[in-house]
Structure 1
């Protein structure tokens, strides 16, 4: 769960998650929303993937990124049950 919180701590990564909430996007489409290099966006995507917050799927020559909603459900359950412990 440490990777999840580390990934969520960064505002750029949170914004990427917000973008992916609307639709699946390629790294290029994601990078169009930021004033940073494509390698920087790739780094953020890698951290989000390592935290299992996003998934990638190859469609032809493009890789599309999408939210992994299962992890978000786990986080919500953990937060809701945290107070009970």
Structure 2
């Protein structure tokens, strides 16, 4: 279940894309402007994030806008919190 998440998060470009999307929806062109990489490379990274369900897309006119899928991010955060375990007072 988490394999796709970790694969998607393993690349710094994809982590940076998520950071940019934190401020709101962006299209691929707007995302590409933030990096020194080609449009096909941005599309590749967006595809991996989308396949991991970390982002969603919305089509509007001639553009596709991407945004963070907060429910998946919250699920990951909860999993990490549970992994940490209960803290006990010493």
Band of TM-score, shorter chain: over 0.9
Query: Which structure has the higher relative contact order (CA within 8 Å, separation 6+)?
Result: 1
Establish whether residue 75 from structure 1 lines up as the match of residue 76 from structure 2.
Answer: yes
Larger proportion of helix: 1
TM (normalized to structure 2)?
0.91
What CA RMSD, in Å, does the superposition of the two structures yield over aligned residues?
1.2
Q: Which runs of 5+ in 1 are unaligned?
A: none
1:38 pairs with 2:42: no
TM-score by length of 1: 0.96
Instruction: Say which one has the larger Rg.
Output: 2
Moved segments of 4+, more than 3 Å: none
| Secondary structure, counterpart of 2:22 in structure 1 | helix
